Structure formats: structure tokens, C-alpha cells
Amino acid sequence: MIMLDTNVVVAFLNGDKSILKRIRAEVDKIALNTLVVAELDYGAKASQRAKENLEKLYRLVDICQVVPFDLECAKVFGTIKSKLRSLGRPTGEMDGLIAATAMAHKATLITADKKHFENIEGLKVEVWPVKE
């Protein structure tokens, strides 16, 4: 299973052809976690083209496995956060929650920005470059 980070889905929704190609090639392995869907839902609703962006988002959601943030994810998040705190290297709350979900479900996290996750021990991360 590969789990997409918010920034990769945003690039896809904005028409990044390289991301579209990768998603098409891996569609049977792709998962979205409910936290990423929540961030994207908010972003779509806050945008100038809310209806159009929500339709695009939920067309993608319909073809992907959706993975919830559950009790096991919560436990992994607690471990991540406490380890990063002891190292003096905190990460953003949402990034920690997304990483915990990927780890709990033994997925590789696909992101456009590895630095948000570089201090999280045991997280499998792959970078898919996006066009800015």
C-alpha cells in the first residue's frame, strides 16, 4: 500500500501531469487516509472553485482505498511525538498524524516534501516531485 500525502494529492488535483501518470500506474496500491481527505476537503471548501474542487477530490476518493485514523494509529502517533520531543525535533501535528497512519498500516508515505518526515524513525517515505 502507498499512502498519498496532502501535497501530492493537491498537485494531482491541480493537473500535475507527472503525478497523474504515477497515480494511474499505481492506482491499485494507492490509499488516502481520512486526515488527508479532511485537509483536502477543507482546502476545496475554502477555495474560489469549491464545487469543482470537491467534485475532483471525491472522484479520486471514490477510486482509492480510504484508511481511517484508528486506535493503532493513535498509539503510533504517541510514540512518534514522544521520540521527536526527546530528540528536540518536533514535527507538525498533522504531519505526525499522517505518518502514524502510514506506519500503523505498513504503508509507504508518498510526499513531495520529505523534510516534514525525515526525523520519523521507521517511516517508509518516497518522494514524488511535483511541479510548483
Per-position pLDDT tens, the chain of length 132: 999 999 999 999 999 999 999 999 999 999 999 999 999 999 999 999 999 999 999 999 999 999 999 999 999 999 999 999 998 888 889 999 999 999 999 999 999 999 989 999 999 999 998 876
Within-domain flag for 29: yes
Within-domain flag for 130: no
Within-domain flag for 14: yes
**pLDDT value at position 17?**
94
Residue 10: Cβ-neighbour burial (10 angstroms; 0-12, 13-18, 19+): buried
Within-domain flag for 33: yes
Within-domain flag for 132: no
pTM above 0.85, yes or no: yes
Within-domain flag for 131: no
- Can you give the residue range of the structural domain that contains 86? 2-125
Q: Are strands 108-111 and 30-33 parallel, antiparallel or unpaired?
A: unpaired
Within-domain flag for 49: yes
Domains identified in the chain, total number: 1
Q: Cα separation of 75 and 124, whole Å?
A: 18
CATH code for position 49: 3.40.50.1010
Q: Cα separation of 102 and 4, whole Å?
A: 9
Within-domain flag for 67: yes
Contact 75, 43 (CB under 8 A): no
